[in-house]
Amino acid sequence: MFQYVLHCFGDDDCVKILRRCKEAIPARDAGGKVIIINMVIGSGSQRDIFKETQVLFDLYMMYIDGVEREEKEWENIFSKAGFSAYKIMPILGFLSIIEVYP
Ligand SMILES: C[S@@+](CC[C@H](N)C(=O)[O-])C[C@H]1O[C@@H](n2cnc3c(N)ncnc32)[C@H](O)[C@@H]1O
């Protein structure tokens, strides 16, 4: 599980990290998955209170030279890392839980 971590890394490093995860976890039918808690731009609550927090996160991303991603960008990373499917659950305010399956 990666919580607030992958947005610290560029796409190529995310692919490397997730490839290693895929090597380490069981097959999907045996319960294997990677859980990511991060922002998915365009998903999540649009309530003003969360938009304000999102702006603070944007400042944090500038500070750490990080990146928040849209679904297409996440999908591209998961596919390059060799994963077959994913599910985005936008249930944590402006954050989402993403399950990624081998
Ligand atoms: C915002 S913190 C999240 C920590 C924890 N997962 C949590 O939810 O409280 C981001 C974490 O990523 C780690 N991190 C960022 N860039 C890293 C790198 N290049 N190598 C290893 N760890 C890194 C930081 O040290 C930090 O612990």
Residue-by-residue pLDDT tens, the chain, 102 positions: 999 999 999 999 999 999 999 999 999 999 999 999 999 998 877 777 788 888 888 899 999 999 999 999 999 999 999 999 999 999 888 899 999 999
5 lines ligand 1 (CB under 6 A): yes
Per the structure block, which two tokens stand in for 20? 């290693």
Backbone φ and ψ for 6, nearest 5 degrees, come out as -65, -20
89 lines ligand 1 (CB under 6 A): no
Element (H, E) at 15: helix 11-24
Every domain of the chain and the residues it spans: 2-101
The predicted structure's pLDDT at residue 88: 97
The predicted structure's pLDDT at residue 20: 98
Domain 2-101 in CATH 3.40.50.2300? The answer is no
**Which residues are known to be catalytic?**
7
What spacing in Å lies between the alpha carbon of 30 and ligand 1's midpoint?
A: 29
Per the structure block, which two tokens stand in for 31? 């319960």
Backbone φ and ψ for 81, nearest 5 degrees, come out as -80, -5
Kindly list the distances between the CA atom of residue 29 and the CA atoms of 26, 83, 88, 96, in Å, as whole numbers in the listed order.
8, 13, 19, 23
What spacing in Å lies between the alpha carbon of 31 and ligand 1's midpoint?
A: 26
The CA distance from 11 to 92, in Å, is: 23
The CA distance from 80 to 13, in Å, is: 11
17 lines ligand 1 (CB under 6 A): no
b/e map of 76-94 (b: 16 or more CB within 10 Å)? ebbeebebeebebebeeeb
